[in-house]
Chain A
Amino acid sequence: MRKLKNVLLLCLTLAMVTGLATQATPADPIKIAFVDPLSGPFAATGENGLNQFKYAAEAINKSGGMLGRQLEIVGFDNKVSPQESLIQLKKVIGDGIPFVFQGNSSGVAHAISDAVQKHNERNAGNRVLYLNYSAVDPALTNDKCHFWHFRFDAEADMKMAALTDVIAANKNIKKMYIIGQDYSFGKAVADGAVAMLGKKRPDVQIVGNELHPIGKVKDFSPYVQKIVASGADAVITGNWGADMVALAKAANDGGLKVPFYTYYAASDGVTAAIGAAGVDRIRLVHESHPGNPNAPKALSEYITGYRKLHPQNDVNQPRIHTALNMLALAVKKAGTVDVDKVAAALEGMEYTNLSGDQVIMRRQDHQLQMPIYISVHTNKNIQHDLDASGFGLSLESKVDRDKATQPTTCKMQRPS
């Protein structure tokens, strides 16, 4: 009899313990999903992004985390495929993770943004927030905008406006060649370049406007031949990852000496591949101070700390730090991880980022408003090099936030 009692007692304790375990206790970490390529041709880009998220999260955790809970970044490999991303998003939702970060490829971003919107409309009790840290197709905060999408990188047109200002000032440029990856972002870059150059420098002739398949081209030499044959004085490209490395290599080998105006021609092997051939020739438009010369103190310390952990990788996306910290602030302000309340808290939020710039999340379309920087590939006066190559980016010009801003067609619908 006594034995039976003991068994019953044990069962009861077990039931209670398992009951407790399934309930989220305040000490449980808040999970944050990172959905980006962790295998395949763009794995290097995705892996470095994930490491930067973990690095940024660690700093937040050290200062107390969110609502007294620790952050945990969970990586999901989407192989830069929209279909695969939707499968991963289902997993994220199934795991009850409320926040999804994604950035590589606007094609993927459109798929996730759409799916998140539909899911949230149908499942009011189990919503997810899509935080886009890198996909810059303007449509995402224009025609396709919705309440559960926030973008922390400058959209392609903001960057193109800054880039075309620099190009317009260079009177040596008479013929422009545009080359990009064949998907929504590559097309957005090309359209933006044609439209803005047409306005600012109608005398510049567009001698080539080329799209190539993303992640499939093995050797860019034929493309480089075409650029040379077109007699172009300069090239605009939105290529990133392996496609940028290969294009840079082929341009070096083919003797293409014209200036390149790019979005992503740095880090993840690109800077090393360009090397000496690109000095003072490759320009890059981005959302942060490039780290040279005279990096703001916060940025400099952040870069140095990251380099200690990952000697081969760079902080090429300081916006990851901005995005994660703004999310943490929004959760703090909302006092909950409830997606709608956090989203409402993010709207209009101001934040001072690592570059010391005051950025603001525009309510109207959820596009972060920020200054735009243009820098040049060089090995002179480099304190923070990239790819551990001795080469890095040096600041050339900065467009203030008020000037960098672009109008939006977004008509934001908020859940009532």
Chain B
Amino acid sequence: MEQIVLFSILNGLVFGMLLFMLSSGLTLIFGMMGVLNFAHASFYMLGAYFAYTLASRVGFWPALVLAPVLVGLLGALVERHGLRRVHRFGHVAELIFTFGVAIVIEELVQLVWGRPAKSYQVPAALDFPLFHLFGSAFPAYKAFMLLVSVAIFVFIFAILTRTRAGLIIQASLTHPGMVAMLGHNVPRVFMIVFGIGCALAAVAGVIAGPVLGTFPGMAQVLGSVVFVVVVVGGLGSLSGAFVASLLIGTLQTFAVALNVSVGNVLMAVGVPAAASAALHDVWKVTVAQVAPILPYLLLVLVLMIRPTGLFGTRET
């Protein structure tokens, strides 16, 4: 049992921090532009594919830096020449635009790299078990993932709270008009934040690609959960995204690890066993089986009870 708890915490942390890298960019972009960027997970996918191609040419480590930079530049271009033009037609147009970008990227990825999953492998230097506990191994690569994501979290937080650039970004979040009045180029701030957000998603892609698989459906698989994280954490709130990422990461891994059925849970809260006959099908469903829908359940609950999200200030 201790083993399951320990490894679930570790896996939950790894997955949660990965979600954070995606959701931090998304929530920043939303906070600034008021747009839910549907293409965000697509930039994550691009990060993985770019790194796959670069890693086979120049090795994993340069790819870890190069791929996010390239994706970040691409993101900035999309903002400068796409989103900014669409901006004047309102939020609906922007939403549809990002939706279109997501589809275009997915199709392009299939055109360039094909539909089968790519065998993007963990770099040899990190391909060993870090430690063995109770008979199962914890791969060094996962520790590396955790390290990278924590480093990036600290980095973003330091920039946003301790530097002048962070000050301007934070001010642009809430008072774009005022910031512009003070002589700052707000559209350029938007472009930079969009680019950095995309680059962050790409970093997540680069390090998650070898573990979660590099295939054209990877954006779809993670994209929906990232939206849940952003909404649960509170739209535009970075600390909210952080807490929600870890919450959903651990929630999912623990739910899988538990061998409890819905019947057990209901019984524990006092529903009489007699009800089990009527609810036979539901009764036998284990928590593990419903694990992937738990984030969405949480989303519904949060929207019902606290529509601003855990740390948000405005209604979603």
Q: A312 on the interface (CB 8 Å rule)?
A: yes
Residues of B within 8 A of A121 (CB): none
Residues of chain B whose beta carbon lies under 8 Å from any beta carbon of chain A: 1, 3-4, 7-8, 11, 15, 110, 114-119, 121-122, 129, 132, 134-137, 139, 141-142, 211-213, 215-217, 220-222, 225, 252-254, 256-257, 259, 286, 288-289, 291-293
Residues of A within 8 A of B215 (CB): 41, 44, 242, 245, 269
Task: Give 8 A-B contacts (CB < 8 Å), ordered by A residue.
Answer: A44-B216, A213-B293, A218-B221, A222-B257, A226-B4, A228-B134, A253-B211, A269-B215
Q: A184 on the interface (CB 8 Å rule)?
A: no
Q: A387 on the interface (CB 8 Å rule)?
A: yes
Flag if A40 contacts B220 (CB, 8 Å).
Answer: yes
Flag if B115 contacts A43 (CB, 8 Å).
Answer: yes
Interface string of A197-221 (1 = CB under 8 A from B): 0000000000000111101111101
Residues of B within 8 A of A218 (CB): 15, 212, 221-222, 225
- Pick the contact of A226 from B211, B213, B256, B289 — CB < 8 Å? B256
Residues of B within 8 A of A387 (CB): 116, 119
A223 and B288 alpha carbons, distance in the complex (Å): 9
Which of B134, B139, B254 has the most A CB atoms < 10 Å from its CB? Answer: B139
Q: A225 on the interface (CB 8 Å rule)?
A: yes
A48 and B215 alpha carbons, distance in the complex (Å): 14
Q: A165 on the interface (CB 8 Å rule)?
A: no
Flag if A222 contacts B216 (CB, 8 Å).
Answer: no
Q: A98 on the interface (CB 8 Å rule)?
A: no
Residues of B within 8 A of A145 (CB): none
Closest-by-CB residue of B relative to A313 is B116
Residues of B within 8 A of A217 (CB): 292
Closest-by-CB residue of B relative to A43 is B115
Closest-by-CB residue of A relative to B254 is A222
CB distance from B272 to the nearest CB of A (A): 27
A182 and B114 alpha carbons, distance in the complex (Å): 28
CB distance from A119 to the nearest CB of B (A): 29
Flag if A256 contacts B136 (CB, 8 Å).
Answer: yes
- Pick the contact of B8 from A42, A213, A222, A228 — CB < 8 Å? A222
- Pick the contact of A41 from B114, B220, B286 — CB < 8 Å? B220
By size class, the interface of chain A is 35 or more
Flag if A228 contacts B217 (CB, 8 Å).
Answer: no
Flag if A228 contacts B136 (CB, 8 Å).
Answer: yes
Q: A41-B221, A218-B222, A313-B116 are in contact. Are A242 and B8 (CB under 8 A)?
A: no
A246 and B210 alpha carbons, distance in the complex (Å): 10
Q: State the total of A-B contacts with C-beta under 8 angstroms.
A: 128
Flag if A255 contacts B15 (CB, 8 Å).
Answer: no
Q: A273 on the interface (CB 8 Å rule)?
A: yes
CB distance from B219 to the nearest CB of A (A): 11
Q: A304 on the interface (CB 8 Å rule)?
A: no
CB distance from B147 to the nearest CB of A (A): 16
Q: A218-B222, A229-B4 are in contact. Are A47 and B115 (CB under 8 A)?
A: yes
Residues of B within 8 A of A275 (CB): 119, 121
- Give residues 270-288 of A contacting B (CB, 8 Å): 272-273, 275
Residues of A within 8 A of B117 (CB): 44, 242, 245, 268-269, 272-273
Residues of B within 8 A of A43 (CB): 110, 115, 216-217
CB distance from A224 to the nearest CB of B (A): 7
Q: A254 on the interface (CB 8 Å rule)?
A: yes
Flag if A212 contacts B119 (CB, 8 Å).
Answer: no
CB distance from A150 to the nearest CB of B (A): 28
Residues of B within 8 A of A146 (CB): none
Which of B110, B137, B289 has the most A CB atoms < 10 Å from its CB? Answer: B137
14 extra interface residue pairs, beta carbon distance < 8 Å, beyond A225-B7, A242-B215: A212-B288, A219-B212, A221-B7, A222-B11, A222-B254, A224-B136, A225-B136, A229-B4, A249-B213, A253-B137, A254-B137, A269-B119, A275-B119, A387-B116
Residues of B within 8 A of A229 (CB): 1, 3-4, 134, 136
A182 and B256 alpha carbons, distance in the complex (Å): 14
Flag if B257 contacts A272 (CB, 8 Å).
Answer: no
Flag if B217 contacts A242 (CB, 8 Å).
Answer: yes
Q: Which 10 A-B pairs have the closest CB atoms?
A: A255-B137, A269-B117, A272-B119, A41-B217, A222-B256, A228-B136, A44-B116, A216-B292, A253-B139, A47-B115
Closest-by-CB residue of B relative to A225 is B7
Residues of B within 8 A of A47 (CB): 115-116
Q: A389 on the interface (CB 8 Å rule)?
A: yes
Closest-by-CB residue of B relative to A250 is B211
Residues of B within 8 A of A225 (CB): 3-4, 7-8, 11, 136, 257
- Pick the contact of B289 from A182, A224, A242 — CB < 8 Å? A182
A131 and B208 alpha carbons, distance in the complex (Å): 39
Closest-by-CB residue of A relative to B252 is A222
Residues of B within 8 A of A48 (CB): 115-116
A166 and B292 alpha carbons, distance in the complex (Å): 34
Residues of A within 8 A of B211 (CB): 219, 249, 253
A40 and B215 alpha carbons, distance in the complex (Å): 9
A211 and B135 alpha carbons, distance in the complex (Å): 23
A218 and B15 alpha carbons, distance in the complex (Å): 9
CB distance from B113 to the nearest CB of A (A): 10
CB distance from A215 to the nearest CB of B (A): 8
Closest-by-CB residue of B relative to A51 is B115
Residues of A within 8 A of B221 (CB): 41, 215-216, 218
Flag if A246 contacts B3 (CB, 8 Å).
Answer: no
Interface string of A233-264 (1 = CB under 8 A from B): 00000000010011001000111100000000
